[in-house]
A = this chain, B = another copy of it.
Amino acid sequence: MDNSSQGLANYLQCNNIRPTYPRVKVLEFLVVQQNHPTAEDIYLHLVREIPSLSKTTVYNTLKLLVDRGLAKVVNIEENEMRYDVILTKHGHFKCESCGKIVDFPVNIEDIGTEGLDGFKIHEKDVLFRGVCPQCLGREKNGG
């Protein structure tokens, strides 16, 4: 296990998650890629390095990370769960043309909660949809 992985292993341990090899690698992928990958994305990437890896392990690990608060599910896609480890508050933009998901800064605490008196709010998400500049350019140049 290399140096950077060592830090992640510690991070897992601090959160009472035994830092097994597959778990460190899943977390590493989430941290390094920052791509809001699906379980499938993660599996396909890691199986090259860990041939014995099973998709169930990826799902188990993601569930564990979410349960312990180290990751969260991003539901911007219609039919699949994506995962995010970023801890600062941000919104998600999904390009309807190329499918890419982009983070953008949002001061989520500024969003008023009138009409939710008496509700306990755990989580606030902001999701935008549209077309990214790259795809807009491609459309303009005749695609």
Interface residue ranges, A against B (CB under 8 Å): 73, 75-79, 81, 91, 93, 96, 102, 104-107, 110-116, 118-133, 136
Contact = CB atoms under 8 A, between A and B. Distances in A.
A63 to B, nearest CB: 11
A120 B130 CA distance: 5
Given A105-B115, A113-B104, A130 B125 contact: no
Nearest to A117: B133
Contacts of A126: 111, 124-127
A25 to B, nearest CB: 24
A105 B111 CA distance: 10
A120 B91 CA distance: 15
A75 B73 contact: no
Nearest to A127: B125
Given A75-B76, A126-B126, A131 B119 contact: yes
Nearest to A76: B75
A75 B116 CA distance: 20
A32 B94 CA distance: 31
A126 to B, nearest CB: 6
A78 B78 contact: no
21 contacts: A75-B75, A75-B76, A75-B77, A75-B78, A93-B119, A96-B122, A102-B116, A104-B113, A104-B114, A104-B115, A105-B114, A111-B126, A116-B128, A119-B128, A119-B131, A119-B136, A122-B130, A124-B126, A124-B128, A126-B126, A126-B127
